[in-house]
Amino acid sequence: MSDTLTFLGLESSCDDTAAAIVQKTPDGARILASVVAGQTALHAPFGGVVPEIAARAHAEKLDTCVEEAMALAGLGFADLDGIAVTAGPGLIGGVMSGVMCAKGIAAGAGLPLVGVNHLAGHALTPRLTDGLRFPYLMLLVSGGHCQFLIAHSPDEFSRLGGTIDDAPGEAFDKTAKLLNLPQPGGPSVEAEASLGNPKAFRFPRPLLDRPGCDMSFSGLKTALLRARDEVVAAHGGLPRAIRSDMCASFQAAICDTLAEKSRRALAQYLEASPSQPAFAVAGGVAANRAIRAALETVSAEFGTTFVAPPLALCTDNAAMIAFAGIERYSRGEQDDMALSARPRWPLDKKAPALLGSGKKGAKA
């Protein structure tokens, strides 16, 4: 096997269609091109991701994303060593669109095909961006997921705990909906929070009174709904300043919960791997500056290295999929035309299924 590997990656598991080219050399990995076509405007009228609309949009956009990525990298299919594609978990129609597209290119260009777990793509991102060595503790926090994992190898993860209901990204999205802010909720709630007082409302920090790393975020939206209704009843509407206070207080509740659970996960992780003190965060919610800062502080308390990927590599992208594909392929793993799309695909095969469901449905 050559010591330089160049892979095309495809991502279509939720509401972003993406294609990217990543090259790995003995000196590290480089993103040669990364194209993301979001679907926010298509789903906006419905207040959430509509699976059928997403699948159709992926099928329409995948070809052009691939063409654009190849052109940006200045490469042809003959220059590639393989093609990686998200094969799950996610919205099944979208995942199928990506898998079919990848199979077509692999068959047409005679390239190896590697199916990638979307969550592994997020969880391996600190290796793409910072060359982080195994093992490390990972907090994967997105619109559909929230879990603490120990990453042992590209396909070996142990879960220390996770959300038992909503994922934080989902809580941000629902908060935005309740407060009439645009979707996706994360960036809009974060912007509004920067104008408010995080101590104005005291929202719950669930499960902090219980040991372990499990989390719960569904009670937050109920508390927020109640607070909003009280404000509307008292003021005849929702004054802008109070809305900012609500966003800031909501974000503070998420920060505190993630920070405290990270302390517990780090203590557990460091007990098992004291010689490799590393903590990394990934997934769309890791784009939140207040959350990154809170986790960085916790990391400093424990004297561990902290890795948070650049914002564009926190949210869904195909560079992480191309890279995860290279990692699998380098270990002699690949798929064939029997590769199928999986709506559920837990990273830790031994851990019991999480009850939580995200916007992509219960699956891990």
Phi, psi torsion values for 23, nearest 5 degrees: -120, 130
The stretch near ligand KG4 (CB under 6 A) out of 64-72, 126-134, 138-146, 238-246 is 138-146
> Torsion angle, CA of 199/203/207/210, rounded to 10 degrees?
50
Binding mask 202-241 for ligand KG4 (x = CB under 6 A): ----------------------------------------
> Torsion angle, CA of 356/362/363/364, rounded to 10 degrees?
0
Q: How far is the CB of 25 from Zn ion (least distance, A)?
A: 27
Its sign, for the CA torsion 355, 357, 361, 364, is negative
Task: Please report, in angstroms and rounded to a whole number, the separation of the first and last CA atoms in the chain.
Answer: 34
Q: Which residues pair with 148 in a beta bridge?
A: 139, 161
Does the protein bind ligand KG4 through residue 186 (CB under 6 A)? yes
Does the protein bind Zn ion through residue 81 (CB under 5 A)? no
Does the protein bind ligand KG4 through residue 184 (CB under 6 A)? yes
Residue 206 or 358: which CB sits closer to ligand KG4?
358
Q: Which residue among 89, 115, 135, 144 contacts ligand KG4 (CB under 6 A)?
A: 144
Does the protein bind Zn ion through residue 216 (CB under 5 A)? no
Choosing among ligand KG4, Zn ion, none, which partner's interface includes residue 249 (Cβ < 5 to 8 Å by kind)? none
**DSSP-derived 3-state class of residue 343:** coil
Choosing among Zn ion, ligand KG4, none, which partner's interface includes residue 347 (Cβ < 5 to 8 Å by kind)? none
* Spatial separation of the C-alpha atoms in residues 41 and 221, rounded to whole Å: 24
* Spatial separation of the C-alpha atoms in residues 364 and 361, rounded to whole Å: 9
Binding mask 133-172 for Zn ion (x = CB under 5 A): ---------x------------------------------
**Can you state the angle between helices 218-235 and 168-178, rounded to 10 degrees?**
20
Residue 144 or 161: which CB sits closer to ligand KG4?
144
Residue 81 or 316: which CB sits closer to Zn ion?
316
Q: Give the footprint of Zn ion on residues 282-321 (CB under 5 A).
A: 316
Does the protein bind Zn ion through residue 15 (CB under 5 A)? no
* Spatial separation of the C-alpha atoms in residues 13 and 85, rounded to whole Å: 10
Kindly state the number of chain residues that form the binding site for ligand KG4, as judged by CB under 6 A: 20
Query: Is 149:159 a contact under the CB 8 Å cutoff?
Result: yes
> Parallel, antiparallel, or unpaired: how do β-strands 278-282 and 305-307 relate?
parallel
Residue 93 or 198: which CB sits closer to Zn ion?
93
The residue count of the chain comes to 364
Does residue 89 have a cis bond before it (omega within 30 degrees)? yes
Residue 284 or 325: which CB sits closer to ligand KG4?
284
Given the rule CB under 6 A, which residues bind ligand KG4? 14, 142-144, 169-170, 172-173, 184-187, 190, 283-285, 287-288, 315-316
Given the rule CB under 5 A, which residues bind Zn ion? 142, 316
